């Protein structure tokens, strides 16, 4: 494995790591996820595509996310040899996950058993711009032979979940270069429709073949040494959960889709926007940097952005473990990340719990309690789906009690609701949904607690706390204190409703049977709940009787490669002070200020934390226990000012999937750990603390090798940007709308303010480059594409005419070229699509070598100087061009033809770029080579560097021939000189 700031590389294929890498290279968009299996297949693969919410019944485990038809298969035959890494010879290999743009690519140089050498380049994406679109792009280049190459693209509907089949075949068909499949889940009766098309850059015939459940499109072309043939497989998928006729919906969506390049650009734009808000930048530690971004990528890829009736399963949409069930992992570990970066996603995740309240009520009633009792493992209805029995390593059945008595899940959900509300002030959602969650789960606690007359207190008996190594315990401190906190917040919510939404308060009082005597009982429980207090040594007992359990000598188990529970068994571990994860430390994190109810000073809290850290940390199975613990340990170690220890725990969590540190990454992404990573950085190393006045940093605890840490978070409709180094903490604020200016607002920008109105230059913080003619010269490709179109429609066109179109959008360029020729809108659209297809074919072979002289050196210098960089281009192919040029990692934002409605000379694209950088216009320098671009930069009230002849770019503040030999400091000097001249003249 290898890493860079935004990329994870696999540089050598190892069959022993097949399943781990399938998890590692998972892609998703919140609607579905696909594991990183190979397009051509491989023996014993664990391929899976999981659609969120598509569950079907299964014995013992109740229900599971269904393995949906595999959309990846692309089989290539070199003569009679099938391309597969299990045969032939791998001469060169690299697979890459581009986290910035959400693309998996793979390059293989392969020699067939017959001795033919072929280059393969694969790219795949799961569109973030359209939930239902999946794209596979393949380039095949024969190296040393001439002959026939056959390709078969298919959908494999004959899939299962580890031997359990869920799909009934209904029908399939196709015509021309399209095919489709229609299936239905055996028990839930959810229907699925998939459609796909195969396009080949060679003019070949595509035929429909395939067996039942596996429609296949096939084509054959003649290979020529050195000649690259491009294949595109585009797939659409719908289920009956979102479309009455899923096959028709899939076919209609497929027919309406634009080109691969356009799909890629739209997909990249969404990822770009997400990273603007969610990225964490770490300087000085490349391993931590890539690990943090990888973890954030995977939970962003699993987040339901458009659906509030599903959640994020414990293994995201990346594997079969836990059957796609939802745990407390989501609310406690993942929701905070979204609350502070993408609150609309946090709201969706919490609304899932609102929509599953009926299942929670059914569970409470069945157990003999009132109110709502959330499932420990939840699926589509909210009913309990934790299996009661599983088979242990010896084949004997093991009773699983979590679904019956791990009741802290109730408060975990209420905790997430409360803190989402505090962070967002989303009163509308709170009164509509959140309050009902908090109140009905509080009703449950009122019926679950037991009064002990002898001790004059309320107890909660027979439970499991977060430390699942100890079952059926009494008065678990975490459970009792969190239930007490829950009732406190329930009373606060109920009072708030009465004050601000009296009608809703009355409605819920009747619906949930909240009478005065009930709220009075809640107050009594709060005052008299048994919460174990610290001993004389300041240690809090995890549950009654824990201190009486046997201690062990951990050095006796240094050899182990599995959890202590796997070694000692359930009963053996239950009898010893061996923790899967420490309840008390988790409590000290969640209830930072009042972990044992009493208000404490900072010094008292520090002493309490230190004592419990010293007691419970050595008794915790950090290596093979719960993956949820290490990130929380990192935060608490920071609070104890132990950054070295914190970093050790942090990296154990951060690398859990990248390096498979627990040996189980093949089962799927560790979602809770991924969410915990964000919390560890923000609340641990950065030291962010939330106050009524906003987030603050009391003291940061950066690891010794971190020279800088940057991130931002949202608190009550305002963004807070943090820039932390060992010597300083810089925090700036802005309202969210500043970073997302609407196109309507862009069009209302006033004309350029003259330099003489300023006369003192604001320090420049960003540079916005045009693309064509500035960083690279694709103008020749544009010319050839326009020339081909002009020849086809019979219009005279030459290089002089092409030069007059420099800087214009595609539509304006076509109108200029057509002159007085009258064409319909439909014909205009068809011509633009045709021209773009010619251009896309021409730019496929762009490489970093196509950067213009001086471009790469300047980009690197800007990055070193911490100057933000964006692209401001009218092109709709800008993202693809940047990718091919290898400069995507050096860019903070891309504003392209999809970003705004009005193009140059309107200032919109540059203003949009500045907004994405989080900068004001006068803090930006535009670099342009077209007169219209210079005019746009000036209209945006930005500084402008013009490249080219003065007659074309003469209105720019400074002018140069090109970027060759130009450095940033020299450019600043020239701007100062230009400004001084203007000020003196004025």
User: 404: Cβ–Cβ under 8 A, 6 or more apart, which residues?
Assistant: 367, 388
Integer angstrom CA distances of residue 619 from 578, 612, 613, 669, 814: 5, 11, 10, 26, 72
Residues in a beta bridge with 242: none
Report whether 812 contacts 874 (CB < 8 A): no
Give the three-class secondary structure for 209. Answer: strand
CA distance 142 to 448: 70
- Phi, psi (rounded to 5 degrees) for 973: -60, -45
The kind and range of the H/E element at 975 are: helix 968-985
Report whether 325 contacts 314 (CB < 8 A): yes
- Phi, psi (rounded to 5 degrees) for 655: -100, 10
Residue count of the chain, please give it. 986
- Phi, psi (rounded to 5 degrees) for 403: -65, -20
Report whether 858 contacts 968 (CB < 8 A): yes
Among 152, 191, 406, 468, the one annotated catalytic:
468
CA of residue 324 relative to chain centroid, distance? 18
CA distance 296 to 278: 8
Tell me the Cα Rg of the chain. Answer: 30
CA distance 330 to 890: 33
Handedness of CA 25, 29, 32, 38 (dihedral sign): negative
Q: Is 780 a catalytic residue?
A: no
CA angle 470, 472, 477 (to 5 degrees): 70
Do you find a cis peptide bond into 905, omega within 30 degrees of 0? yes
User: 59 burial class (0-12, 13-18, 19+ CB within 10 angstroms)?
Assistant: exposed
If you ran DSSP here, which 8-state letter would residue 754 be given? P
Report whether 84 contacts 91 (CB < 8 A): no
User: 921 burial class (0-12, 13-18, 19+ CB within 10 angstroms)?
Assistant: buried
DSSP 680-735: IIIIIIS-EEEETTEEEES-----TT--EEEEEEE-SS-EEEEEE-SS-EEEEEE-
CA of residue 796 relative to chain centroid, distance? 49
Return the closest-CA partner of residue 238 out of 54, 35, 57, 73. Answer: 54
Q: Where are the alpha helices (DSSP H) in 395-537?
A: 402-405, 409-424, 427-429, 435-448, 477-500, 502-512, 516-528
Give the three-class secondary structure for 537. Answer: coil
Which pair of tokens denotes residue 790? Answer: 């002009």
If you ran DSSP here, which 8-state letter would residue 65 be given? E
Which pair of tokens denotes residue 398? Answer: 């093991």
Give the three-class secondary structure for 186. Answer: coil
Report whether 656 contacts 294 (CB < 8 A): no
DSSP 87-108: SSEEEEEEEEEETTTTEEEEEE
Return the closest-CA partner of residue 900 out of 271, 258, 269. Answer: 269
CA distance 130 to 101: 15
DSSP 555-580: GGGTT-SS-HHHHHHHHHHHTBT-BS
- Phi, psi (rounded to 5 degrees) for 179: -150, 165
Return the closest-CA partner of residue 294 out of 678, 615, 32, 576. Answer: 678
State the catalytic residues: 468
């Amino acid at each position: 494995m290898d890493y860079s700031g935004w990329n994870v590389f696999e540089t050598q294929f190892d069959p022993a790591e097949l399943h781990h890498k399938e998890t590692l290279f998972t892609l998703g968009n919140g609607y579905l996820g696909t594991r990183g299996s190979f397009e051509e297949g491989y023996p014993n693969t664990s391929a899976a595509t999981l659609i969120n919410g598509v569950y079907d019944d299964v014995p013992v485990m109740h229900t599971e996310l269904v393995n949906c038809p595999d959309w990846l298969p692309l089989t290539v035959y070199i003569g009679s040899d099938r391309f597969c890494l299990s045969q032939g010879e791998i001469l060169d290999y690299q697979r890459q996950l581009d986290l910035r743009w959400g693309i998996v690519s793979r390059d293989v140089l392969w020699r067939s058993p017959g001795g033919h050498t072929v280059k393969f380049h694969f790219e795949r994406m799961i569109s973030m711009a359209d939930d239902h679109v999946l794209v596979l792009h393949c380039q095949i280049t024969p190296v040393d032979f001439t002959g026939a190459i056959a390709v078969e693209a298919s959908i494999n509907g004959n899939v299962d979940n580890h031997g359990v089949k869920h799909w009934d075949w209904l029908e399939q068909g196709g015509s021309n270069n399209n095919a489709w499949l229609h299936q239905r889940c055996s028990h839930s009766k959810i229907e699925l429709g998939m459609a796909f098309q195969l396009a080949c850059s060679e003019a070949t015939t595509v035929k429909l073949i395939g067996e039942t459940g596996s429609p296949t499109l096939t084509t054959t072309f003649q290979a020529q040494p050195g000649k690259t043939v491009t294949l595109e497989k585009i797939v659409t998928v719908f289920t009956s959960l979102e479309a009455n006729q899923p096959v028709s919906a899939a076919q209609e969506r497929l027919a309406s889709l634009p080109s691969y390049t356009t799909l890629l650009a739209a997909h990249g734009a969404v990822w770009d926007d997400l990273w603007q808000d969610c990225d964490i930048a770490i300087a000085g530690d490349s391993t931590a940097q890539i690990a943090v971004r990888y973890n954030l990528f995977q939970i962003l890829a699993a987040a339901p952005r458009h659906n509030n009736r599903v959640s994020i399963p414990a293994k995201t949409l990346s594997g079969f473990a836990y059957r796609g069930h939802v745990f407390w992992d989501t609310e406690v570990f993942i929701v905070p990340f979204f609350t502070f970066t993408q609150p609309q996603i946090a709201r969706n995740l919490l609304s899932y719990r609102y929509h599953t309240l009926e299942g929670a009520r059914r569970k409470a009633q069945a157990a003999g309690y009132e109110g709502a009792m959330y499932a420990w493992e939840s699926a589509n209805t909210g009913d309990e789906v934790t299996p009661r029995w599983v088979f242990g390593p010896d084949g004997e059945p093991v009773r699983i009690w979590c679904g019956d008595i791990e009741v802290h899940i109730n408060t975990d959900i209420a905790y997430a609701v409360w803190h989402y509300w505090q962070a967002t002030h989303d009163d509308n959602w709170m009164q509509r949904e959140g309050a009902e969650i908090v109140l009905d789960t509080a009703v449950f606690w009122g019926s679950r607690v037991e009064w002990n007359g002898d001790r004059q207190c309320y107890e909660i008996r027979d439970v499991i706390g977060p430390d699942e190594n100890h079952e059926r315990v009494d008065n678990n401190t975490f459970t009792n204190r969190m239930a007490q906190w829950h009732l406190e917040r329930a009373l606060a919510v109920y009072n708030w409703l009465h004050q601000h939404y009296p009608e809703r308060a009355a409605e819920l009082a009747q619906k949930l049977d909240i009478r005065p005597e009930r709220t009075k009982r809640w107050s009594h429980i709060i005052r008299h709940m048994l919460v174990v207090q610290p001993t004389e040594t300041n240690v809090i007992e995890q549950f009654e009787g824990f201190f009486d359990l046997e201690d062990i000598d951990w050095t006796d188990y240094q050899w182990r490669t599995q959890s202590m529970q796997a070694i000692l068994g359930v009963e053996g571990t239950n009898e010893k002070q061996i923790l899967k994860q420490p309840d008390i430390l988790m409590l000290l994190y969640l209830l930072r200020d009042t972990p044992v109810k009493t208000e404490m000073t900072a010094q008292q809290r520090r002493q309490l934390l230190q004592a419990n850290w010293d007691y419970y940390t050595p008794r915790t199975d950090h290596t093979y226990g719960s993956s949820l613990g290490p990130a929380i340990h990192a935060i608490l170690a920071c609070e104890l000012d132990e950054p070295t220890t914190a970093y050790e725990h942090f990296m154990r969590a951060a690398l859990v999937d990248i390096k498979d540190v627990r040996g189980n990454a093949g089962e799927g992404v560790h979602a809770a750990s991924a969410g915990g990573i964000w919390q560890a950085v923000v609340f641990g190393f950065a030291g962010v603390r939330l106050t009524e006045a906003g987030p603050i940093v009391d003291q940061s605890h950066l690891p010794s090798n971190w020279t800088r840490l940057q991130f931002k978070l949202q608190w009550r409709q305002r963004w807070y940007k943090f820039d932390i180094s060992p010597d300083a903490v810089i925090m700036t604020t802005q309202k969210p709308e500043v970073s997302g200016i609407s196109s309507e607002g862009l069009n209302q920008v006033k004309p350029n303010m003259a330099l003489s109105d300023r006369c003192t230059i604001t320090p420049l913080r960003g540079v916005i480059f045009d693309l064509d003619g500035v960083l690279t010269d694709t103008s020749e490709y544009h010319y050839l594409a326009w020339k081909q179109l002009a020849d086809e429609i019979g219009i005279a066109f030459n290089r002089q005419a092409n030069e007059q179109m420099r800087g214009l959008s595609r539509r304006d360029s076509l109108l200029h070229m057509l002159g007085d020729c009258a064409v319909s809108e439909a014909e205009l659209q068809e011509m633009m699509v045709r021209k773009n297809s010619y251009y896309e074919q021409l730019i496929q072979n762009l490489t970093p070598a196509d950067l213009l002289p001086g471009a790469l050196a300047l980009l690197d210098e800007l990055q070193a100087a911490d100057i933000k960089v964006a692209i401001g281009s009218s092109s709709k192919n800008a993202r693809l061009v940047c990718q091919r040029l290898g400069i995507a990692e050096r860019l903070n934002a891309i504003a392209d033809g999809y970003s705004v409605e009005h193009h140059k000379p309107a200032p919109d694209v540059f203003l949009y770029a500045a907004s994405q950088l989080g900068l004001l216009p006068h803090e930006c320098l535009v670099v342009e080579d077209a007169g219209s671009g210079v005019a746009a930069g000036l209209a945006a009230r930005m500084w402008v560097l013009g490249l080219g002849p003065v007659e074309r770019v003469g209105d720019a503040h400074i002018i140069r021939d090109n970027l060759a030999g130009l450095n940033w400091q020299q450019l600043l000097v020239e701007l100062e000189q230009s400004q001084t001249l203007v000020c003196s003249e004025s």
